[in-house]
Structure 1
Amino acid sequence: MIARTWRGWASKATAEDYRRHYESEVAEHLQQVPGFRGARLLRRCDGEEVMFTSITFFTSMDDVRAFAGADPGQAVVEQAARRTLIRWDERVTHDEVAVDLYGDDR
């Protein structure tokens, strides 16, 4: 399994807008991608900004390419997200998941 990691920053005023965008529009898009295995959106206050870290999981790099296109290292940031974010990473990282653990209340 592949973990695709990306970061974006929003002002405190627009952070909730980005969270809603991710939970609705991004989630809907990802669920249509073959090999999509799940996602997590992490949130951390970073001074006057809120930093989001998105970790999406895919079965293989071929599945990542189905989502991201020919250059899988290029970030995919939709116009709606660009309106809520101050800045974002243009590049993403991909890591192979070595261990996948779950808690009791999964």
Structure 2
Amino acid sequence: MIARLWHGTTRLDRADAYSTFLGERAMPDYRGTPGNLGAQVLRRDEGDVAHFVTLSYWESEDAIRSFAGTDLLKAKYYPEDESYLLEFEPQCVHYEVRSAG
């Protein structure tokens, strides 16, 4: 199993709206992709910025490709992200899951 982590930031005053967007648009996209084993959104507020991490689990690299494209580590963005994110980090981080409980 592969864990895929993406990080993004938004202004704190836009964080609740972005959280809603992620739940309504991004999470169904993740979870609806064959080979996705689950996805979560994590949020941490720090000063006037909110940090978001999406943590998704995949059965294979092929499953990730069907979600994100041929470049496995390239971050996937949605058109709506333009109105929320402070920057666009180009890559995600992958980890091989060694134990789960």
Normalised TM-score (structure 1):
0.89
Higher helix share: 2
Conserved 8 A contact 1:14-1:85: no
Q: Does 2:91 match 1:88? A: no
RMSD: 1.1
Conserved 8 A contact 2:9-2:87: yes
Deviation at 1:88, TM superposition (A): 3.4
Q: Does 2:23 match 1:23? A: yes
Match of 1:104 in 2: none
- For 1:54 and 1:88, the matched residues in 2 are separated by 14
Q: Which runs of 4+ in 1 moved over 2 A?
A: none
1:6-17 to 2 correspondences below 5 Å: 6-17=6-17
| Amino acid in structure 2 at the alignment position of 1:73 | L
1:38-53 to 2 correspondences below 5 Å: 38-53=38-53
| Amino acid in structure 2 at the alignment position of 1:64 | I
Unaligned 5+ runs, structure 2: none
